[in-house]
Amino acid sequence: MSDRLPVRKTYKLFIGGAFVRSESGRYDRAGEFNIPRGSRKDVRDAVAAARKAAVGWAGKTAYNRGQILYRFAEALESRAADIGAERSDVEASIDVLVHYAGWTDKFQPVLGGINPVAAPFLSFSVPEPTGVVGVVAPDSPPLLGLVAELAPALAAANTVVAVLSEDRPLPGLDLGEVMGIADVPGGVVNLISGRRSELAPALAGHHALSAIVNATGELAAEIDKLASESVTRVRHTSPATDYATATADPLSRLEAVTELKTAWHPVGA
């Protein structure tokens, strides 16, 4: 029988495709694990990484993004036993990723289209990614509540900076480790754990953020105020509790993180 002490696992933030320690050097304890407590500087670093990755991610074909989301679901399935969440939470998250993988090449004609005009012009609208999307994940369910907002943002070709559940950050940090075997490019998804009251306002007030989805029911007034200063789109929503609620109205989730680009073209003589 060995009398050696096991090496206690120390989780790290997932920023720019790398596992990094919090700039602040702070950690919290969750059972036997050390959990990084992210800072406002970590939020700024994550937004910078997401901005850098945005052009490449948006430049991929819709079909390719669907393949990558499907591979993300495969990777999560293969690591399901290692995720610190209930089995039902993990399985619903996998199914949600597959669901939105199927939407990547379908929502454009639904949200866009040809606009009737009483003039010799052709007018048409095309949905485009809004850019960097912030996600403030709920405490329960800790994994599905995150994935339900993460998946539509990725399907719509946005990059994401997510503030994880404050009470139960482990499933979100485990999801970061799944990224290591998935095909999601570095910087497309960035995950930060810590105190929501510190991180969410720093994220909402960042001038380079394009939209923010708050699924916590908290800090709504503060997020609205900070986001308004840089004209950042805001969506407050209730946390998804199962697959049905996470996929009940996919178009509203996709529309919240897209912009419509309208073009006019002369026709006739």
Confidence at residue 120, expressed as pLDDT on a 0 to 100 scale: 83
Q: What digits encode the pLDDT tens for the residues 82-115? A: 999 999 999 999 999 999 999 999 999 899 988 8
CB–CB of 105/66 below 8 Å?
A: yes
What does the DSSP assignment read for the chain? ---PPPPPPB--EEETTEEE--TT--EEEETTEEEE---HHHHHHHHHHHHHHHHHHHTS-HHHHHHHHHHHHHHHHHTGGGSSS-HHHHHHHHHHHHHHHTTTTTHHHHH-EEEP-SSSEEEEEEEEE-SEEEEE--SSSTTHHHHHHHHHHHHTT-EEEEEPPSS--HHHHHHHHHGGGS-PPTTSEEEE-S-HHHHHHHHHT-TT--EEEE-SSSSHHHHHHHHHTTT-EEEE-PPP-SHHHHSSSHHHHHHTTEEEEEEEEE---
Residue 152 within a domain = yes
Residues facing residue 129 across a β-bridge: 258
- Is-contact 62 197, C-beta < 8 A? no
53 inside domain: yes
Q: Is residue 262 within 8 Å of 124, Cβ to Cβ?
A: yes
b/e map 105-115, b = 16+ CB within 10 Å:
eebbeebbeee
Residue 116 is predicted with a pLDDT of 82
Name the nearest CA neighbour of 190 among 17, 3, 6, 1.
17
- Give 45's contacts (C-beta < 8 A, 6+ positions apart): 15, 16, 23
Yes or no: say if 60 and 157 are a contact pair by the CB < 8 Å rule.
yes
Question: In this structure, is residue 186 part of a structural domain?
Answer: yes
| pLDDT reading at 268 higher than 70 | no
Report the CATH number that the domain containing residue 168 is assigned in CATH. Answer: 3.40.605.10
**Is 2 among the domain residues?**
no
Q: Is residue 171 part of a domain?
A: yes
In a domain, 251, yes or no: yes
Residue 28 lies in a domain: yes
Residue 69: domain span: 13-266
112 in Cβ contact with 124 (< 8 Å): yes
- Total number of domains in the chain: 1
* Nearest residue to 149 via CA among 216, 215, 233: 215
Q: What is the mean pLDDT of residues 240-258?
A: 96
The Cα 194–Cα 46 span in angstroms is 14
Say what percent of the chain tops pLDDT 90. 83
Mean confidence (pLDDT) of the chain: 94
Question: pLDDT-based confidence at 266, cuts 50/70/90?
Answer: confident
Note the pTM of the prediction, 2 decimals: 0.94
Please tell me the predicted confidence (pLDDT) of residue 4: 87
Q: Sign of the C-alpha dihedral, residues 73, 79, 81, 86?
A: negative
Reported residue count of the chain is 269
**How does residue 121 score in pLDDT terms, banded at 50, 70 and 90?**
confident
Examine residue 213 and state whether it is found in any structural domain, yes or no: yes
Give residue-wise pLDDT tens across range 170-211.
999 999 999 889 999 999 999 999 999 999 999 999 999 999
Looking at residue 59, its pLDDT comes to: 97
Number of alpha carbons in the 13 Å side-chain half-sphere of residue 201: 7
Q: Give the pLDDT score at 1.
A: 60
Indicate if the pLDDT at residue 52 is higher than 80.
Answer: yes
When pLDDT is cut at 50, 70 and 90, the band that residue 264 belongs to is confident
Query: Which of 114 and 164 is assigned the larger pLDDT?
Result: 164
Higher pLDDT, 269 or 109: 109
Q: What is the mean pLDDT of residues 237-251?
A: 96
Region 63-91 average pLDDT? 96
Binned at pLDDT 50, 70 and 90, residue 117 comes out as confident
